[in-house]
């Protein structure tokens, strides 16, 4: 844990959490893995959570309930309880999520569960296509309902950009690229690799980061252009 770029206070929180789970589950606890921003050194105090993969030998509700009171003491910790068998049987369904974990993680206790996780690129392509198409359907449906309400349309854009960028980041993996972590760098890579115009996405991202303000009269054309570029990415994934 010493190699982690987090404060001493956060280390103490993690140590208390690990000791508590060991006490509760004993031999039933197989592994605790820290992943995400705290493992990559990009943890932002008061904005980030400590994401933990907790691997138990049994995750039935009765067993999980044993830790309820203890876990609720640690609001900064976001634990995901799985079994090793469940992980093995779910890699084909959630390749994006497991790749995200694999990218930045640190084993805090027990077995290195993620070391041998092997993602089939075909499953990754399928998840990227499925999730992007699902997002597109939802955005179109909501547009029909709220296109006259410019503040609501703006809010939809700002809420959508992060999740769509996260999926699009993994589209870069389909081309054998190691995707960047920062959102502005993801956009640069998408533009370079797929020859799409990410200018509108950059504008939405800047608005989300409160670097610029979007005018109501510009919202609809921004939304239309955003959807147009999203459709291009979906077409690209469909052909990969």
* Higher-pLDDT residue of 44, 99: 99
What's the token pair of residue 120? 């089939």
Q: Based on the domain organization, do 20 and 67 belong to the same domain?
A: yes
Q: Based on the domain organization, do 137 and 222 belong to the same domain?
A: yes
Question: pLDDT category, 13, cuts 50, 70, 90?
Answer: confident
- Do 57 and 30 touch, CB atoms closer than 8 A? yes
Domain count, the chain: 2
- Do 160 and 153 touch, CB atoms closer than 8 A? no
Residue tagged 């932002």 (tokens): 44
The domain that holds 35 is classified in CATH as 3.30.460.10
Q: Based on the domain organization, do 146 and 70 belong to the same domain?
A: no
Q: Which residues contact 162 (CB under 8 A, 6 or more apart)?
A: 183, 208
pLDDT of 210 strictly over 90? no
- Do 223 and 145 touch, CB atoms closer than 8 A? no
The average pLDDT across 89-117 equals 94
Last residue of a domain, one of 110, 136, 171: 110
The average pLDDT across 55-63 equals 96
pLDDT of 37 strictly over 90? no
Q: Based on the domain organization, do 145 and 229 belong to the same domain?
A: yes
The domain that holds 198 is classified in CATH as 1.20.120
pLDDT in tens, 180-191: 888 889 999 999
CA proximity to 135, closest of 168, 92, 97: 168
Question: Is 142 a member of any domain?
Answer: yes
Q: Based on the domain organization, do 56 and 151 belong to the same domain?
A: no
Question: Is 1 a member of any domain?
Answer: no
CA proximity to 37, closest of 97, 105, 99, 96: 105
pLDDT at residue 173, rounded to an integer: 94
């Amino acid at each position: 844990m010493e190699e982690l770029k987090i404060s001493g206070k956060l280390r103490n929180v993690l140590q208390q959490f690990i000791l508590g789970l060991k006490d509760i589950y004993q031999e039933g606890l197989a592994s605790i893995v820290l992943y995400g921003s705290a493992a990559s050194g990009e943890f932002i105090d008061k904005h980030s959570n400590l994401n933990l993969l907790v691997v138990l030998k049994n995750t039935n509700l009765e067993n999980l309930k044993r830790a309820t009171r203890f876990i609720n003491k640690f609001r900064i910790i976001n634990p995901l309880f799985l079994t090793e068998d469940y992980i093995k049987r779910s890699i084909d369904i959630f390749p994006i999520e497991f790749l995200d974990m694999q990218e930045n993680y640190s084993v805090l206790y027990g077995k290195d569960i993620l070391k041998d996780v092997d993602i089939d690129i075909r499953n990754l392509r399928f998840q990227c296509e499925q999730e992007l198409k699902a997002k597109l359907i939802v955005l179109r449906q909501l547009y029909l309902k709220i296109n006259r309400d410019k503040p609501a349309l703006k809010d939809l854009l700002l809420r959508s950009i992060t999740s769509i960028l996260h999926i699009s980041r993994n589209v870069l993996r389909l081309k054998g690229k190691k995707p960047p972590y920062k959102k502005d760098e993801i956009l640069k890579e998408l533009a370079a690799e797929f020859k799409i115009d990410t200018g509108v996405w950059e504008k939405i991202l800047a608005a989300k980061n409160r670097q610029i303000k979007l005018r109501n009269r510009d919202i609809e054309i921004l939304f239309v252009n955003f959807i147009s570029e999203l459709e291009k990415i979906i077409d690209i994934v469909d052909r990969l």
